Amino acid sequence: MMENTKHEKVSLGIFPTPVQRLENISRALGTQVYIKRDDMTGIGLGGNKVRKLEYLLADAKAKGAQIIFTTGGAQSNHAMLTAAAARKLGMTPILILKKRGVTARQGNQLLEHLMGVDVRFMDTNDYADIYEEMDRVGQASGLPYYKIPCGGSNALGTLGYVDCVKELREQGAEFDHIICAEGSGGTMAGLALGAKLYMPGARVTGMMVDSDPFEEITLRLMREAAALLGVAVNVSAQDFDLRDLCGPGYAIASEEGNAAVSMMASQEGLFLDPVYTGKAFAGLIAMAKEGAFKPDDRVLFLHSGGAGGLFAIEM
Ligand SMILES: *Cc1c(COP(=O)(O)O)cnc(C)c1O
C-alpha cells in the first residue's frame, strides 16, 4: 500500500484512538455498533480537527509561519482546536470568526479565553471577506502567516481522515458501514477516499449538518486528496451516501439530534454534541430503523468530538 510519505505531519495528538463496541446501543438497534473515539485525540477537548491539523500545521511550520489564522462560527470546535495546536507548537493563533451563534464567554469561547487567544468577530456571511481580512491583518503584522480554511477542509487536511481508515485497518477492524457528520466536508471526503484505498467493503455515509452542496464538496476534496497522494482512483458520487440531518439549521439543535445525544449518554455514558455528532448519530438511528443494517453488520460511528460546544448550544 502507498504511504503518505510526501506529506509531513506534526505530532499533536494520541493515535490510534480507541475503537469500542457499544453493547447497549447494538442491542437496542439490532445491529453491531462500534464507535471510533476521535473525541479522544489528545489535545484541547479532542475532536476530528486534530488529524487535519497534524498535516496543516506541518505545512505551516515548513513554510516558516509564525501566525496561524483560521475561521468558523462563533462556537467553532475547529477554531478552538487550531488555537490549542498552534499554542502547543509555539505559533500565534488569530481566530477571525463569523459573528453568528453564541459569542459570549461560554463553550469554545471560554476555552479560547483560557488560552489567551486573539479572537475577532466579523459581521459577514461570506468567508471570502474573512480570508481577505486575514491577509490584511497578516500583512500589517509583518510576520509570516498561514491561513487554514474553515474546518481545515482542504486537500491536505483531508489526508488526516484517509489515515484514519488506514489506522482502523491496522487496528484489525473491518466495517460494513462508516458513519460520520459532514460539516465542512474534509472528514467525510477523507473517510470515503480512505475506504476506497484501505477498506473497500465499507460504505461511508455522511450526515449533513449544514446546507452546503456536499456531494460536490466531497467529490472535489476526494479528487484533490487523491492527487496529493498520487493515487490513481476513479472517484464518483457512487462512492458514498449523504443524508440530510440539518433540521432547523447549522448549529441549531434538532429534536432528533437531542434524542440521539440522550440515547448515547443514558445507554453508554458517552457525550455527543448537538451541532455535529448528535445529529449524525440521529442519522445512524434512522438508518437502523429503516432496516439499512443487517443484524450482523458492523457499523462504525465516528465520534468526531464537539465537547466544547455542548456547554454553549441551547438544547
Ligand atoms: C468540524 C466537526 C465535524 C465535521 O467535520 P468536517 O470535516 O468539517 O465535515 C464533525 N464533528 C465535530 C465535533 C466537528 O467539530
DSSP string, 69-105: EE---TT-HHHHHHHHHHHHTT-EEEEEEES-S--SS
Polymer length of the chain: 315
The pocket around ligand 1, CB under 6 angstroms, is made up of: 47-48, 77-78, 151, 153, 181-188, 273, 276-277, 304-306
**Amino acid sitting at position 65:** A
Rounded distance from Cα 190 to ligand 1 centre (Å): 12
Question: Where does 49-152 sit in CATH, by number?
Answer: 3.40.50.1100
Would you say the pTM of this structure is higher than 0.85? yes
What's the gap in Å between 93 CA and the centre of ligand 1?
20
Residues with a catalytic annotation lie at 76
Just give the CATH number of 19-47+155-310: 3.40.50.1100
Which ligand 1 atom sits nearest the alpha carbon of residue 180? 10
Ligand 1 center to residue 212 CA distance, Å? Answer: 14
Note down pLDDT in tens along the chain; length 315 residues.
444 457 999 999 999 999 999 999 999 999 999 999 999 999 999 999 999 999 999 999 999 999 999 999 999 999 999 999 999 999 999 999 999 888 999 999 999 999 999 999 999 999 999 999 999 999 999 999 999 999 999 999 999 999 999 999 999 999 999 999 999 999 999 999 999 999 999 999 999 999 999 999 999 999 999 999 999 999 999 999 999 999 999 999 999 999 999 999 999 999 999 999 999 999 999 999 999 999 999 999 999 999 999 999 899
Q: Residue 132 Cα, ligand 1 centroid: separation in angstroms?
A: 24
The two domains 19-47+155-310 and 49-152 share their CATH topology (first three levels equal)? yes
Q: What is the pLDDT of residues 208-219, one digit of tens each?
A: 999 999 999 999
At 269 the three-state DSSP class reads coil
Q: Where are the domains of the chain?
A: 19-47+155-310, 49-152
Instruction: Name the residue of 43, 82, 184, 313 to mutate for ligand 1: max ligand atoms within 8 A of Cβ.
Output: 184
Cell numbers 473497500 correspond to 200
Cβ partners under 8 Å of residue 35, min gap 6: 19, 20, 22, 268, 270, 300, 301, 302, 303
Q: Which residues of 50-71 are buried (b: 16+ CB within 10 A; e: fewer)?
A: bbbbbbbbbbbbeeebbbbbbb
pLDDT digits (tens, 9 = 90+) for 58-117: 999 999 999 999 999 999 999 999 999 999 999 999 999 999 888 999 999 999 999 999
